[in-house]
Amino acid sequence: MLERLDWLREAHGGPFPYEDIRHIYKTVTSRKKLTRRVMDKGFISDLDWFFFQVRGCGSWKRSALQWSSEDRQSRFNYLCKDFFDYFPIYLPVRRWITETNTPTLYRDFALCEEVRMTVMVLIRLLDKLEGR
């Protein structure tokens, strides 16, 4: 599992998907003013922050073995939410993020979700080993 996290972090470490976001922005500019206003609220900076936070979770790996049960629970609670849970204002944008429409952004979201889920499984395994 730890090796998988290493691979996921490296796979997710490519350039930020600006081109895909520009594609969404151009598409919604001509179709949906509401979604364009939503994108103007800080989509790029919020997405960058979220990806950074989740990639950071993937780097915890071996140090996770030293966490207290309270630390594990706190991190698990943080990881329970996906990007759109943290930033529901961007929910109208979600439908534009597809493998065909925005392949790099779609891949980055998929990798981010896999890191999130893998770390959550790791935390639960550590809880079981501790007897919680």
- Could you read off the pLDDT tens digit of each residue along the chain, which spans 132 residues? 556 555 556 655 678 888 999 888 887 766 666 566 666 678 888 999 998 888 777 666 667 777 888 888 888 998 999 999 999 988 888 988 999 999 999 999 998 898 889 888 888 888 888 775
Number of domains in the chain: 1
Q: What are phi and psi of 37, to 5 degrees?
A: -60, -40
Residue 57 carries which DSSP code? H
What is the residue range of 88's domain? 2-130
Taking alpha carbons only, the member of 31, 27, 33, 46 closest to residue 89 is 46
**What is the DSSP code (8-state) at residue 99?**
T
The continuous run of DSSP H or E covering 96 comes out as none
- Token representation of residue 33: 């003013």
State pTM to two decimals: 0.80
Eight-state DSSP code of residue 64: G
